[in-house]
Amino acid sequence: MNGRLSTASRVVAVGGLAAVAAMGCSDRPPLDPVIDPPENDPIAASIVITPSSVEFRAIGSSTTVAAAVKNASGATLADQSVDWSMAGTGVARVDSTGRLVAIANGVDTVRAAVGDLVASAVVRVVQVPFAVTIGSHAQTMTVLGETAALSAAVLDSLGSVVRGLAIEWRSSDPRAVPIDAQGLATAASMGSAVITATSGVMVDSTNITVDLLGPLGAPRVGSVISCASGTAAPFDCNGIDLVAYLPISALGGPPGVTLNDVWGWTDRATGNSYALVGRTDGVSFVDVTDPLAPVYVGFLPRTAGSPQAVWRDIKVYVDHAFVVADGSFEHGVQVFDLGRLRSFDGAPQVFAETARYSGVASVHNIVINETTGFAYAVGSNSGGESCGGGLHMIDVRLPGAPRFAGCFADPLTGFSGTGYTHDAQCVRYVGPDPDYAGRDVCLGSNETALSIADVTDPANPVAISRASYPNVGYAHQGWLTDDHRYFYLDDEVDELQGSVPSSRTIIWDVTDLDDPIVVGAHFGPNRATDHNLYIKGDLLYQSNYQYGLRVVNIADRERPVDIGYFDTAPTRSNEPGFGGSWSNYPFFPSGIIVVTSQDEGLFLLQVSN
């Protein structure tokens, strides 16, 4: 060796010192080089995003993704600054910390960058429907034909709209509030409806009320509205004042329920008076002792298992109400102790029936002779002891234990040839015919004719007579004058069939019960269909469906004179038809007349002074 480094020599920097190794000049093995461990390599070689993909199920959902920067050996490099960004499809956004927020359905890519090194992860937003909601709730329409454009949306769990899903609209009462497929609701008639929006299994609902009565859409109590210049508030009238008004909702009726019959009871123990108001689903009890401030006391539901009934009828014996329904399967006769109304403490109650008579199933009407304590279920049409649809006689002198007493039917009357009786009045006779003085007599409105029977002995009833009249449509119902000499009968169909020029009430002279004679007819001012009528003294009170209540002076029995009316259904035409006033009860000591109007509610009226 000449002291120079050979080409086979090399210099290695170890710990900052120079070491010279002569290659091949020594018998010692060469020194290994000293280098930094690979994990200490500071050069970024890859980025790993955790999680590797993200899926959101609601707009507005968020999560944070992490980025790990690694060198070539896979070791994580700490304190590396990562730049976050989105590919830019508008599905999500990301901030400088890696927090992702979903902003639209679709697929996007989140990116993490260190210098020129970039990694990415897939971001999906797929909304899952959580609920459907209607944009507006509980509203009232006050003009016939008025519309309301309802909107509904399907939402995810955070309340963002899920687009593209179908919504189906329905109305619980399309007669009052029909709604189309786009959510346009229309005021068609008085009433209320539950409107539902459905998407899959998700449902939301709202109530729409059609209140065409203006300021009387809510209960109107506290002062009499006189019939001045032909109107009382929005109601056409003449000679009849509005004392109070309760819409169906104020009688406890839910949307879709309508009214039918009405009767009355005055408590002999307290002097309080009550209206017993028929609903399609039961009976409402209203305290009308103070006519200016009627109070809803409670409700008797229909017989369990029976459907709602358009036809419900109520009568009273002493202090018990008897309730029947037509087309109601095994409804029977409900018996209710009216003395239970005395327990009213300010909160309306739902009452249970006191007893039930099951000798009949569905019947159209019930009649009670309050002098004798016998009830007469008429118009039987399914099950039980039907008596041909005629008089099914029930002894109710022990109201809690009614028992069958007998049958009467005149098969020469009625359309079916069985003696079907649609309605009747049964009295202890005080009229001019000496042959029947003190006898129990029933006058039946039997569809095609007037049928008169002696039912003094229920086990052995006797037909007295039958008689018809010109242009029979449907002999519906009637009432005797106080002296039992005249009987006034309404025909429910003659206006509809066009056989009479206007509403017609048939006047019978029944001085001789064996030979009833038609002595005239009273024609009303229009063609509105006449329905239930009752007589008190010299006044006849008749519900005329779409025309409302008519009051007729019958002091001259054969030449009646109209003295007043009150149109309870102002949006309906005064033509033949079945909407509006169903019935009335004029026998309260106060002199008020309670009137039911099917879609409108309960009216308390008085003849103007």
For every residue of 483-539, which 3-state class applies, written as one string? CCCEEEEEECCCCCCCCCCCCEEEEEECCCCCCCEEEEEEECCCCCCCCCEEEECCE
467 vs 572, which has greater pLDDT?
A: 467
Pairing verdict, β 295-301 and 561-566: unpaired
- pLDDT bracket for residue 466 (50, 70, 90): very high
Determine the Cα angle at 415 with ends 411 and 420, to 5°. Answer: 55
Q: Which of these, 254, 286, 277, 381, lies nearest to 323 by C-alpha position?
A: 277
- pLDDT bracket for residue 135 (50, 70, 90): confident
What is the pLDDT at residue 103? Answer: 93
Mean pLDDT (whole number) for 55-80: 91
275 vs 609, which has greater pLDDT?
A: 275
Please tell me the distance from the alpha carbon of residue 468 to that of residue 450, in angstroms, as a whole number.
6
Q: Select the highest-mean-pLDDT range: 102-106, 215-219, 394-398.
A: 394-398
Contact criterion met (CB below 8 Å) for 257 and 248: yes
Pairing verdict, β 117-125 and 53-56: parallel
pLDDT digits (tens, 9 = 90+) for 327-348: 898 999 999 999 999 999 999 9
What is the pLDDT at residue 222? Answer: 73
Q: E strands within 136-258?
A: 139-141, 147-149, 152-155, 161-162, 168-171, 184-186, 191-199, 202-210, 231-232, 235-238, 240-246
Q: Select the highest-mean-pLDDT range: 8-12, 174-178, 230-234.
A: 174-178
Q: Which long-range contacts (CB under 8 A, 24 or more apart) does 132-139 make?
A: 132/167, 132/197, 132/198, 132/199, 132/202, 132/203, 132/204, 133/197, 133/204, 134/195, 134/197, 134/204, 134/205, 134/206, 136/206, 137/206, 137/207, 138/206, 138/207, 138/208, 139/206, 139/207, 139/208, 139/209
What is the pLDDT at residue 554? Answer: 98
Q: Is the pLDDT of residue 91 over 50?
A: yes
Contact criterion met (CB below 8 Å) for 309 and 261: no
Contact criterion met (CB below 8 Å) for 535 and 482: yes
pLDDT digits (tens, 9 = 90+) for 405-444: 999 999 999 999 999 999 999 999 999 999 999 999 999 9
Q: Is the pLDDT of residue 20 over 60?
A: no
What is the pLDDT at residue 156? Answer: 92
Q: Is the pLDDT of residue 315 over 50?
A: yes
When the pLDDT of each residue in the chain is averaged and rounded to a whole number, the result is 90
Please tell me the distance from the alpha carbon of residue 19 to that of residue 13, in angstroms, as a whole number.
7
Q: Helices then strands (H, E): number in the chain?
A: 0, 53
Q: Select the highest-mean-pLDDT range: 35-44, 154-163, 224-233, 500-509.
A: 500-509
255 vs 319, which has greater pLDDT?
A: 319
Q: Is the pLDDT of residue 72 over 90?
A: no
What is the pLDDT at residue 30? Answer: 55
Percent of the chain with pLDDT over 70: 91
Task: Give the phi and the psi of residue 243 in degrees, each rounded to 5.
Answer: -90, -45
Q: Which of these, 354, 298, 297, 308, lies nearest to 331 by C-alpha position?
A: 308
44 vs 190, which has greater pLDDT?
A: 44
CA distances from 364 to 28, 61, 538, 583 (A): 127, 62, 29, 14
Q: Is the pLDDT of residue 460 over 50?
A: yes
CA 281 to chain centre: 10
pLDDT digits (tens, 9 = 90+) for 489-514: 999 999 999 999 999 999 999 999 99
Contact criterion met (CB below 8 Å) for 569 and 236: no
What is the pLDDT at residue 4? Answer: 37
Contact criterion met (CB below 8 Å) for 595 and 548: yes
Pairing verdict, β 152-155 and 235-238: unpaired
What is the pLDDT at residue 5? Answer: 35
